[in-house]
A and B are shown apart, each in its own frame.
Chain A
Amino acid sequence: MKNAYESLLGGKQGAIGLLVLAVLILVVFPLALDSFRLSMVGKYLTYAFVAVGLVLCWGYGGILSLGQGIFFGLGGYCMAMFLKLEASDPESTKIQSTPGIPDFMDWNQITELPMMWQPFHSFSFTLLAVLAVPTLLALVIGIAMFKRRVGDVYFSIVTQAIAAILTILIIGQQGLTGGVNGITDLRTLNGWDIRDDSSKLILYFVNAALLIGCVLLGRFVLTSKLGRLLMAMRDKEERVRFSGYDVASFKIFVFCLAAAFSAIGGAMFALQVGFMSPSFVGIVPSIEMVIFAAVGGRMSLLGAVYGTLLVSFGKTYFSESFPELWLYLMGGLFIVVVMYFPNGLAGLWESHGRKWLSRFALGNKVFGQSVVKARVMSPVKVATPQPSRELETTP
């Protein structure tokens, strides 16, 4: 019991941090935001899966993947294929020249459901595919790269190339994938309408709970010996190798885990937003996801969630007001964070926020109770401690 407390919650500090996040996304957001804004947050939280995965594989494992959109996209496409098949029953597609197949196939003169799509009639197969397809691809990439000791910037470039290739492939195979528009007009999940407000709310909670589950799983990995090995490998790979470890297998594992997290995010995206398109697969979204993790703090699982929320909010706000400026702002933000705050918001919180908070708490002894509340209300400052004392690094 105590073990679970330590390894999943990361002791008292970690438990408080997690609680704050849980209250924020499970209570505060649903109460404070209207359904439009809430579904926006729900969409952002699907990106947070990718950022949490990046903390594991980039922050701790030292593997900078610039192609996490691949896995987000594949997870999303698997889910979207199932939903699209359900939306394309012969009754509602009877005006097509071939009823019973997705509309975009009909527009592309395809007269029969392709083999690749057949198994996606089954929901249990789909759930399996959501996890298995991206993870297996990550396994193949991982084995090909890490067993040959391809690392650092070369690995990043290769992942970026794969993201570009996959985008081109999806756009090119219009009849199979819906091309540049993606798979749109998703309606029901096993007969349950996913478009109305009440089902969106349920999906929001499912998504939030899954995200917290991924954070817990990430904590478990990081507080295990494997987590310490990852850090050891990042600093002294040779020493780990010559201590009897197959370094590649650990890198492959953490890369696959990050891919699986991203895939869950992608599937939840398709469910909540109601479509999936190649614009979430390619280089730009993949790099955006790295920025989420960098801003939040690449050494902090919870920080990555806050980073995702904050940058996504910023993106929505600024791209509405100054559409041309946004890309420059994003690039500038990344440079500033990497150069001056390498541990992101979580690092700032560790070095300044906590001190500020304790001074605040001491000055207002009477309002001691309100401290927790104040933290809830200011997500920017609430970047949470690292999984355990042993894992802390000096910047």
Chain B
Amino acid sequence: MNSPAGFQAAKPVLSIEGLSVSFDGFKAVDNLNLYVDRNEVHVVIGPNGAGKTTLLDLICGKTKATAGSIDFDGRELSKMREYDIVRAGVGRKFQNPSIYENLTVFENLEMSYPKGRKVFGALFFKRSAEVIARVEEVAAEIFLSELLDMQADLLSHGQKQWLEIGMLLMQDPALLMLDEPVAGMSVSERVQTAELLNRISQGRSVLVIEHDMEFVKSIAHRVTVLHQGTVLAEGSMEAVQSNPKVIEVYLGH
């Protein structure tokens, strides 16, 4: 039934197997297996200290794994440098909006344009029509078209979150990782962000960490519950929510 090509397409874009990391004997992530499919919005939930942010740190190379493998599209990420991981197509948004506050919205987006990433490339980088078009395109996606010339520290908290997502979109990553993208957002901003995620997950995979269950429901194709560094349950939001183990450690509280 499955042709080889079909099998290829069904292969997960990210396969994490047996991943462990310990800090001074404390196992923050313990023998974890996780798969992210193509075009999937995969949400990771779990109580505080479950190892969610550490998981993203491991994938993007900020933390080095003690054991296990992280296979991204046939490349082993756990041995690569941070910037090589980004160049391979993994974008990561941090928990607190991490933008360049002294630069304008335009410049923030331009910084992430995947040209002129080496010293001399950056020195002779030209703001071509192509760059401007790309920045404007992304700005429209993240609802910031009108604010391109504004200095980024004047944006609202929610707009800063969008800007950081926009900076990742500039790189057109195959895998987008978002750490609490709606933290500190108003209700209407949350709705807009859910729309945004549904839109940008076309043609790429998105791995999200989130606490807001309403928001998770509105975006998740699949949910993984982490507990004490390991996978407690996985499946659709409904299946996970009715899982007694999950209720006990997390949703019940």
Contact = CB atoms under 8 A, between A and B. Distances in A.
A245 B123 contact: no
B124 A244 contact: no
A249 B118 contact: yes
B171 A224 contact: no
Contacts of A240: 111
Interface residues of A, number: 26
Contact of A242 (B62, B102, B119, B151): B62
A236 B98 contact: yes
B62 A390 contact: no
A393 to B, nearest CB: 5
A243 B111 contact: yes
B114 interface: yes
B62 A393 contact: no
Interface in A180-236: 221, 224-226, 228-229, 231-232, 235-236
A238 interface: yes
A231 B125 contact: no
A224 B123 contact: yes
Interface stretch (B9-17, B82-90, B137-145): B82-90
Nearest to B153: A394
B123 A221 contact: yes
Contact of B103 (A221, A231, A245): A231
A243 B102 contact: no
Nearest to A244: B86
Contacts, number: 85
Contacts of A249: 118-119
A384 to B, nearest CB: 19
B150 interface: no
B79 interface: no
A242 B125 contact: no
B167 interface: yes
A226 B116 CA distance: 9
Given A231-B103, A393-B102, A243 B171 contact: yes
Contacts of B82: 241-242
Interface in B103-131: 103-104, 107, 110-112, 114, 116-119, 122-125
A34 to B, nearest CB: 42
Contacts of B83: 241, 244-247
Nearest to A234: B102
Nearest to A247: B83
B215 interface: no
A393 B107 CA distance: 14
Contacts of B167: 239, 243
Contact of A225 (B81, B110, B171): B110
Interface residues of B, number: 35
B180 to A, nearest CB: 16
Contact of B102 (A229, A235, A241, A244): A235
Contacts of B111: 225, 228-229, 232, 240, 243
A223 to B, nearest CB: 10
A144 to B, nearest CB: 18
A146 interface: no
Contacts of A245: 83, 117
A232 B100 contact: yes
Contact of B99 (A239, A241, A250): A239
A259 B14 CA distance: 44
Contact of B125 (A224, A238, A253): A224
A228 B123 CA distance: 10
A228 B117 CA distance: 12
A242 B164 CA distance: 12
Contacts of B125: 224-226
B122 A224 contact: yes
B92 interface: yes
A31 to B, nearest CB: 38
B227 to A, nearest CB: 27
B60 interface: yes
B101 interface: yes
B94 interface: yes
A244 B92 contact: no
Interface in B47-88: 60, 62, 81-83, 86-87
Given A224-B122, A232-B111, A242 B87 contact: no
Contacts of B103: 228, 231-232, 390
A50 B217 CA distance: 58
A249 B116 CA distance: 13
Given A243-B171, A390-B107, A225 B116 contact: yes
B116 A231 contact: no
B92 A242 contact: yes
A245 B167 CA distance: 13
A225 B119 CA distance: 10
Interface of B: 60, 62, 81-83, 86-87, 91-92, 94, 98-104, 107, 110-112, 114, 116-119, 122-125, 151, 153, 164, 167, 171
21 contacts: A225-B122, A225-B123, A226-B123, A228-B110, A228-B111, A232-B100, A236-B100, A238-B62, A239-B167, A242-B82, A243-B111, A243-B112, A243-B167, A243-B171, A244-B86, A244-B112, A244-B114, A244-B117, A244-B171, A246-B117, A250-B122
Given A239-B167, A394-B151, 13 more contacts: A225-B111, A228-B107, A228-B111, A231-B100, A232-B111, A235-B100, A238-B98, A241-B83, A242-B86, A246-B117, A247-B83, A253-B119, A390-B104
